Amino acid sequence: MKIENSVDARPQTGLAAADMVWEEVVEGGITRYVAVYHSNLPPEIGPIRSIRPMDPAIAAPLQGLFAFSGGQRAFVDGVAAAGLQVISNDAGNAGFYRTSSRRAPHNVYADPQGFLAQADPAHLAAAPQLDIAPAGEQLTAGTPAGSVQLTLSPFSHPQWSWSQPDGRWLRAEGATPAVGADGGRLGATNVVVLRVDMVDTGTKDPAGNPVPETVLVGTGEALVATGGHTLPATWSKAAVADRLILTGPDGMPVRLAAGTTWVELVPNRTGAVTVG
């Protein structure tokens, strides 16, 4: 599901309930989320916004539903071609509504149960995106770390701080703690940082800004933060429909701890990663 992350969109509703969240840079240097819901559906999610060209490569391995509001025709077709079931506000699919508490276009919300009611049998059982360690398995320790500070663009500087009492990484937008609409802190059991290339799609948004695409088919540097430690890794993805593979310095697959995972797509050319 596409969720907005502009200043006008915060705090979001239902984001903390996602099993997995991907953060991507879009036009103008702002970011948006692809939120994945496997195990827990909140009663309301939003604000929901439009899709982008890298979304098929993010969501295709799931072979599930993909819900959004708006998007260029080629990007919508790309989601369908990737084997996902399209749930579109513009197409009149059920489940979307506008709230009076926010101004358009930041006011599209959804009841995810309404989306599930439209699912066809081929898209009801989603596959995992990353390797999760079974209960009791000892995870690779890595190096102790208290923070992961990121630059995704000149306007996006998310930070993750390890909280031992919470047993998870807590998110901040710059120096401002990130919270949901219920006031609860946003956090993650695992934070996976992927260094990625970005290319110009040759298309523009309604305001005339160039629309970039994150290249997710290929390989690159990665960093895995879990349990108060960080581990350098390599990511690889052979095709749009293939799962993302994380490989450690020893050449073995990296398994994540069970729990919420955030994936940060940090541009190679303009982004930065600092571990503290």
On whether both 183 and 253 belong to a single domain, the answer is: yes
DSSP state, 202?
E
pLDDT per residue over 47-99, tens digit each?
999 999 999 999 999 999 999 999 999 999 999 999 999 999 999 999 999 99
Indicate whether 259 belongs to any domain: yes
- What is the spatial distance between Cα 9 and Cα 46, in angstroms, rounded to a whole number? 8
Number of other CB atoms surrounding residue 153 within 10 Å = 18
Indicate whether 15 belongs to any domain: yes
Domain of residue 83: give its range: 2-123
pLDDT per residue over 6-54, tens digit each?
999 999 999 999 999 999 999 999 999 999 999 899 999 999 999 999 9
- What is the spatial distance between Cα 172 and Cα 107, in angstroms, rounded to a whole number? 23
C-alpha to C-alpha distances, 260 to 3, 37, 168, 186, 189, nearest whole angstrom: 16, 10, 9, 10, 5
Indicate whether 245 belongs to any domain: yes
Indicate whether 137 belongs to any domain: no
Indicate whether 134 belongs to any domain: no
pLDDT per residue over 122-171, tens digit each?
898 777 789 998 877 767 679 999 999 999 999 999 999 999 999 999 99
On whether both 154 and 265 belong to a single domain, the answer is: yes
What global pTM score does this model have?
Answer: 0.97
Indicate whether 40 belongs to any domain: yes
Element spanning 232, H or E: strand 229-237
On whether both 161 and 241 belong to a single domain, the answer is: yes
Indicate whether 133 belongs to any domain: no
Residue 60 sits in a domain of what CATH number?
A: 3.50.90.10
